[in-house]
Amino acid sequence: MIQRHFSIALVGLILGLLLVLQFRTANQQEPAVPGDRAHELTVELKALTTERAGLESVARDLEGKLARARLGYVQAEETIKAQIREAAVLAGMTRVAGPGVRVIITSRTGATPPGAIFAVRDEDLLKLVNELRAAEAEALSINGQRLISTSAIRLAGSHINVNLQRITPPYEILAIGDPIALRNSLEIKGGLVETMRDWGMDVTIETQNRIVIPPFKRPLVYDYTEPVAEASH
When comparing pLDDT for 98 and 15, which is higher? 98
φ, ψ at 146 (rounded to 5°): -70, 135
> Residue 172: which of 143, 208, 210 has the closest Cα?
143
Distance (Å, rounded) from C-alpha 112 to C-alpha 201? 10
Distance (Å, rounded) from C-alpha 159 to C-alpha 45? 94
Contact assessment for residue 151 and residue 129, using Cβ atoms and an 8 Å cutoff: no
Q: Does the predicted TM-score (pTM) go above 0.85? A: no
> Which range is most confident: 16-25, 31-40, 123-132?
123-132
When comparing pLDDT for 111 and 157, which is higher? 157
Q: Is the pLDDT of residue 19 over 70?
A: no
Q: Is the pLDDT of residue 156 over 80?
A: yes
φ, ψ at 96 (rounded to 5°): -130, 160
Distance (Å, rounded) from C-alpha 170 to C-alpha 85? 33
DSSP 226: -
Mean pLDDT, range 52-63, rounded to an integer: 79
Q: Is the pLDDT of residue 181 over 50?
A: yes
